[in-house]
Structure 1
């Protein structure tokens, strides 16, 4: 006789679906703002985009498009992409990444076409200037990523950039060698990060407070040294040897992007290497694995033999060296002398780029490039004579940064142990 037992009833798992309206709301707000701008300040005529320089091997010339039809066509596409994002939200779907990218590109070209009505938009100059402004932000963001990945919030990026700029100007002026200036800038960044590491890791002082104090200290110190040392000895101590442009044969002739990416100074090429090295090292090496372990689960890392606090100490100083190299760009490439507070708060923008980039070196670099582009776009719009008030023009880079962080990132989780001191025991 066969004994059969009825199977116990199994309850179906509960599926919880969550709407993510952040992207849809952000795109909706931006679309309304652009529509209001295009309607209230309608512009006619033709917009000309210059796509290459006069000496380009493959000249792309200039492209002229009718302003009003292109602007309204672009706005229609933006409305369609916004509706797509709203539909995804209502259907509990995550919008694809390409939707945000396509929206950003279309909105940018639509805005540039509106701004350049009956004018000329030099694309090469716009992109080159954006890259130039972004270089110190990228170095600072890389330092911020390493610091927070290892568990230390590096608010002192501004001080590292500023002291790096001062050290580079001083040593390059004395030796007449920009590479010595670059080395001095990295040492200057390490000196600032060393103080941060000692107080935050050894003496367990609140990391954000230490970073803010260091920024104020470096600002005052460099201002004092500038007044008593560099000003009276300007010709000897504040005339640094600078890096010249080094066009890479072949690559510089690539249409559109070649002159932007491969007709740069040594420091820009060093930035390319630094971004690639940090991105590869963080995810493909034992060093990167240990850095991420210490920043996420220091107790677990300690149990497998990783010395948590020494690991944090040396990597915070590595982050300071990278940020200091960004400071060298101010005095060895951009402005051939040191001035008080010349970093202009870009260290804090680098910190925002770290958050916008979700503590990833590649994404943080792209965020830094976005801010650089917004800053250079402000300069271009002033030249084109757009009807946008000058006060808003000055706010544009910071508004873009706030919208990017709040609208596209919102709440995001950084390394679990960032900002938390580790006490072995």
Structure 2
């Protein structure tokens, strides 16, 4: 229950930046997750688990307020009833699920989390939308793990409470670094504002969001992992290689690809001290030539990404962003960021593994799950990948026309074909 007064929470630098992405029509600020179960969830237990999770992460029941001297999150009395909706349908109409999945979180008229439990013939689908202003994909996964853990534990312990996690600032990374590492960050060069001018020729339609999906099944994903291991590479390297080669086919030139990196890797247990955004971009630039074969491109990608991943200076961009909002008045800081920050026209994000051991709703088996990021506005384009139980899900999200959707499908088919011809 809320107290008889509403509490405010500081909006952190990344919260504000995600808000500005929407203002500048780069992308909306909604993260998406879907899980399909082999049976039914206990609706009342799920409601209680959500209620407990809100107390751990109270920003969920807040709305964003930019009208004050410094923007903040203010509690607005939203409850679990505002968050979860249950519907039962007679057949698995995908349009019903898509219609919900494409909705946006409204920062100014919360809550910042929305859940729909859809029951189709005694089998449940759980659709969860989270404000990207509150957290990145890794933070969203941490929230989902917590929610499922609460759901599992309250079956036998009605008084179960999860541990509160409050620190949402970048200092949770910096405080774990040595003086030498901090010096490297301070004097390091970060090329996060230089991107290609290459772009997909899209029409855009702000009234027509869509998410196009492709799956790489278990058998092929195991083959992909084996291929990567034999070449001392990562699955991420393989995906980037296919991406660069397909873009070369489409545009006739190598495209520099910004890749999202989770900065929690610099925290001892790789877990945030709060649910928040803790990511930045690494830049994969392999030069002007891809090489003739997939393996030649892979060699260049692996070499570049190993160099990028070993450079701790990537922390500098988020540290600088936080400093700007800490030092300058909000209007000045916002003006600096809006002027200086350039978003890539073509990007890549590997959301990574959704851990089936941590995402366990008691005895309710999840048979399929994936996560995808925000939906882009024309002309921005991003390929996202998430993996659950050794099935990889590729997704491209866009506000666009049917012609745009056709182009996205051509791209995804080419991507799958590139893997098929080179890896499997």
Do they superpose with TM above 0.5? no
Larger Rg: 1 or 2?
A: 1
Higher strand share: 2
Q: TM-score, normalised by structure 2?
A: 0.29
Higher helix share: 1
